[in-house]
Amino acid sequence: MDGRPSYYEFFAGGGMARAGLGEGWRCLFANDFDRKKAESYRANWGGEELCVGDVRDLSTAQLPGRADLVWASFPCQDLSLAGAGAGLKGERSGTFWPFWALMKELRREGRAPSLIVLENVCGALTSHGGKDFTEICKALAQEGYRFGALVIDAALFVPQSRPRLFIVAVRKDVAISISLAPSHSGAGSAFHTRALLTAYERLPRRLSEDWLWWRLPAPPSRNTKLAQIIEDAPRDVDWHSGAETKALIAMMSEVNLAKIEEAKRAGRKMVGTLYRRTRYQNGVKMQRAEARFDDIAGCLRTPAGGSSRQYVLVVNKGRVRSRLMSARETAALMGLPDEYILPENYNEAYHLTGDGVVVSVVQYISEHILKPLFPVPNVKNSRDAA
């Protein structure tokens, strides 16, 4: 009999939460509505547990057994600062509610999971003045869960700036040690940001009484450098011509031009990244190219037009080279291993990775919160056997 704790994975994408949880956990069910992402899920995990379709159309009859954990990285578009601000009433982020209807039904059937992890953008803390976050907490409390949240930037683990909100909820009958969730945040908790503390302070007292101050240790210093990820000869993108690179540089402000000049003076090969962004100058809307050379890539986003794709910049011996970031580079920035099978189509691969959860962060949460709550057998933490 398989003694591993089990889980359901909702809004699964290419299975990045599954990659992070590793073989110490057993996937019973996975769901995503995107058929292209589902192809990647099946290519990497076999996909016997995968149900492709809208979460609104699912029923608990399709969820086998009783999962110990439910992981749900529900859509962020309506909660993102870059979105239209619809919040949990939006078409995409609003899919939290049909997902939650399934959780409520599982409880009525006596199959409520012991643990639920919700992952989203940090904008979920401030959406609609904090009301959306309060509604999520209220939903958890009403179904018998205690809960707490962490803001974790993937830059602690991989060279990508990607702060995300993780709400970790535990059924009230599950014992929690004081070392895992002390009675207060503690002045030194880097994962309890000012925005998170403000969101907590907005909660009604009846909800704050169910709050858990999850304690995560500081991770060791990241040892993966951006330059290690950048490929000299990627197979899916070409280096720009001199004229194309010059055109990108011409879109830079004085501040960003100074970054290029500083990189030239460094006396060594400098690797950076660039995004094209829409800015206003003197009331006029214009495209700007913004560079960084701080060993951290910008946050990957799903491509919706050329301006959302990230560029690579390499400055060496006074020469500046540029190109789009390759699909394999985006996968590495998400903590995916080299053997992870990506879609052949560049846009599909970029969409898959840019819309996922960073594997290394899932691993860290699993190691320091989930495993202590639900001891996981000592199995190598890698991809599940297909």
State the pLDDT at residue 281.
79
* Average pLDDT score over residue span 257-263: 97
- In percent, the amount of the chain with pLDDT more than 90 equals 81
State the pLDDT at residue 382.
44
For 170-202, b/e burial (b = at least 16 CB within 10 A) is beeeeebeeebbeeebeeebebbbebbeebbeb
State the pLDDT at residue 279.
85
* Average pLDDT score over residue span 38-45: 97
pLDDT digits (tens, 9 = 90+) for 184-208: 876 558 999 999 999 999 999 999 9
State the pLDDT at residue 220.
95
Within 10 angstroms of residue 163's Cβ, the number of other Cβ atoms is 15
For the cut 60, the answer to whether the pLDDT of residue 253 exceeds it is yes
Within 10 angstroms of residue 227's Cβ, the number of other Cβ atoms is 13
- In percent, the amount of the chain with pLDDT more than 70 equals 92
The model's pTM: 0.93
For the cut 70, the answer to whether the pLDDT of residue 288 exceeds it is yes
State the pLDDT at residue 93.
72
User: Among 19-28, 100-109, 180-189, 272-281, which is the least confidently predicted range?
Assistant: 180-189
Residue with the larger pLDDT of the pair 382 and 11: 11
Within 10 angstroms of residue 298's Cβ, the number of other Cβ atoms is 20
Residue with the larger pLDDT of the pair 343 and 303: 343
Strand 270-281's sheet: what is its strand order? 284-292, 270-281, 311-316, 319-324
pLDDT digits (tens, 9 = 90+) for 208-232: 999 999 999 999 999 999 999 999 9
Residue with the larger pLDDT of the pair 62 and 375: 62
**What one-character DSSP code corresponds to residue 159?**
S
State the pLDDT at residue 280.
80
For the cut 80, the answer to whether the pLDDT of residue 50 exceeds it is yes
Residues listed for the chain: 386
For the chain, list the domains and their CATH numbers. 6-220+357-373 (3.40.50.150), 238-325 (no CATH)
Q: How confident is the model at residue 1 (pLDDT cuts 50, 70, 90)?
A: confident
pLDDT digits (tens, 9 = 90+) for 110-143: 999 999 999 999 999 999 899 999 999 999 999 9
Cα pseudo-dihedral 219, 71, 92, 193, rounded to 10 = -30
Mean pLDDT of the chain: 92
Instruction: Name the residue with tokens 């491509």.
Output: 303
* Average pLDDT score over residue span 319-343: 98
* Average pLDDT score over residue span 50-55: 96
**What one-character DSSP code corresponds to residue 300?**
P
Q: How confident is the model at residue 379 (pLDDT cuts 50, 70, 90)?
A: low
Within 10 angstroms of residue 257's Cβ, the number of other Cβ atoms is 14
Q: How confident is the model at residue 308 (pLDDT cuts 50, 70, 90)?
A: confident
State the pLDDT at residue 289.
95
